[in-house]
């Protein structure tokens, strides 16, 4: 389990680097060299990490380790 969690950390770092290299932020206008499959991989990786973080957060709320979200 610990190895998978470390890999998730590496994935988040890689996604941030990818965004910095290929993103349109900071006035970039050149088309990205990334292919559709690369974009799909980045998107699906982001969804997986986000779902894991939200599931973990909810689990901690359910077990009383975090206060419930205020409405």
d(CA 52, CA 62) in angstroms, rounded, equals 15
For the chain, the average pLDDT equals 91
Does 49 or 31 have the greater pLDDT score?
Answer: 49
d(CA 15, CA 68) in angstroms, rounded, equals 30
Residue 70 confidence (pLDDT) above 90: no
Q: What is the mean pLDDT of residues 3-20?
A: 94
């Amino acid at each position: 389990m610990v190895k998978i969690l470390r890999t998730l950390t590496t994935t988040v770092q890689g996604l941030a680097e990818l965004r910095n290299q290929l993103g349109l932020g900071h006035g970039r206008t050149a088309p990205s060299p990334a292919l559709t499959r690369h974009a799909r991989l980045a998107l699906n990786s982001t969804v997986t990490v986000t779902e894991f973080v939200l599931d973990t957060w909810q689990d901690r709320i359910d077990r009383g380790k975090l206060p419930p979200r205020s409405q």
